[in-house]
Each structure stands twice: as C-alpha cells, then as structure tokens.
Amino acid sequence: MFNRIYLELNLLHKKFISKKKYFSFSGVDIILEKIFINQHKGIYIDVGCQHPIKNSNTYLLYKKGWEGINVDLDKDNIELFKACRSNDHNFNKALSSKVNEVDLYFYHKKSPINTIDKKTSEFQEAEVSSIKKINTDTLNNIILNTKYKDRSFDLLSIDVEGHELEVLKGFDLTKFSPKVVVVEYLDLNASKLEIKNLNIEDILKTEIYKYLVSRNYILVNSIYSDLVFVNRDFRD
C-alpha cells in the first residue's frame, strides 16, 4: 500500500515539474528560454509580433523581465501591445529593406497572414479581401527612434509572411549584432505548410540561410517554420 502511494506521489510530482508551457505557435520560445536560461534580463526585437501573448515568440522572455521593440503592420495588434507591454517600444509599421510604397494583401484585421509579399499571398488558400497601398520603413530607422539606438540586442525575431529577407536587409546586423536570430521560413514549394512536409536540405539552399551564414551566424535549430540562428561569437 505504502509502495503504491509512493509511486503515485512520484508520478504526480514528475507530472507537475515536467509540465511544459509555451506561447509561440511553433514552441520556439522554449528553445529560446533554454538558450538564455541564465539570462534574466535582455533586449528583443519582435517583427511581425502579431499578439502580445498568443503565438508570441517573446512573451515567455517578457515574463522573465526582458524588454524591447515590437513591430507589426496591423494597428489593432499594436494597440494590444501598448496595453499589455507598455514599457516596450511598439510600432505600427510595415518593414522592408527600404522606405517605399507597396501593396498590402489584406485578409482581415489581426490576420496572421496579412502580407506585403505577393508570392506568399498567392500561396494562401484564403481569399484576399482587399489590396491596400501602404508605406514601408526599415528596422534601422525604427531602432533610431528608441533608447536602444546605441545598444546591441539579444534576440531578433522576424515573422512577416515571406518578406523576412527584405526586413533583414534593412537591419544592420554588424552594428546591432543580435546573439540569436529567429526567422520564419515558408517553403512555398511544399504542398502545405505543415511540419511533416518541411525539408532541412531545402532550408540550406535558401537566400535567408546564405545571408545569415555569410554574416557570422550558424543555424542551430529548426522547429516548424522557425529557423534559429546563433551568432558565432555567442558561444559557450
């Protein structure tokens, strides 16, 4: 009897301490928490942040005491960030490699697939409700309007539905040198954007991979559509 009680308590204890809780769509925030396990304060940039809690790559770090910059092209999303993360710098902007007027393929307010990338929009099964003209800015310009303009960053996360490489080109990786870069990669050659259809060999051929590797980054992990790169100088 006592042995059975001991076993049940042991299982209950393991179940409690092994409970996993994450907020990002892919679970990449668990990887980030492990990478920064001993760092209770840090600075992030979250481009295409979408929601301050749900599907957020940075909320787990925010809860630990991190802070930073959040950018999204949807005004309603940024209003949520202003309410939930008022100490962060929150910007309602569409980012690219330069300042320009572009087409926004708009599905609906707060849609995670609103995009300025035409190819990605055409891949989606959902129907575009309208095409709007909007102005883009660069991440470099955004940072210059914050207290972080002379700082380096710990994390850069980019999820902008196919426009990630252009956002990277508008960001000075050498000056701001984030320790970790998380970038979404949508393989439009796959039949569906599901994890079982993704191929790591195809990732190694992408322009995103080549761009970051040529700038002192190493691909250390891939989960769902999130690629995790680490700066070569940020090593144990």
Q: Which of 166, 173, 178, 186 is nearest to 227 (CA)?
A: 186
Instruction: Please determine, for residue 121, whether its predicted confidence score (pLDDT) is greater than 70.
Output: yes
Q: Which helix (H) or strand (E) holds 67?
A: strand 67-72
Residue-wise pLDDT for 76-104, tens only, equals 999 999 999 999 999 999 999 999 999 88
Q: Which residues contact 55 (CB under 8 A, 6 or more apart)?
A: 23, 24, 25, 112
Q: What is the pLDDT of residue 230?
A: 97
* DSSP-derived 3-state class of residue 5: helix
Q: Which residues contact 192 (CB under 8 A, 6 or more apart)?
A: none
How much is the average pLDDT of 127-137? 89
- Please say whether the structural domain 23-93+138-231 has been given the CATH code 2.60.120.10: no
Instruction: Please determine, for residue 143, whether its predicted confidence score (pLDDT) is greater than 70.
Output: yes
Residue-wise pLDDT for 15-45, tens only, equals 555 555 789 988 999 999 999 998 999 999 9
Q: Where are the domains of the chain?
A: 23-93+138-231
Residue-wise pLDDT for 183-224, tens only, equals 999 877 766 666 666 778 888 999 999 999 999 999 999 988
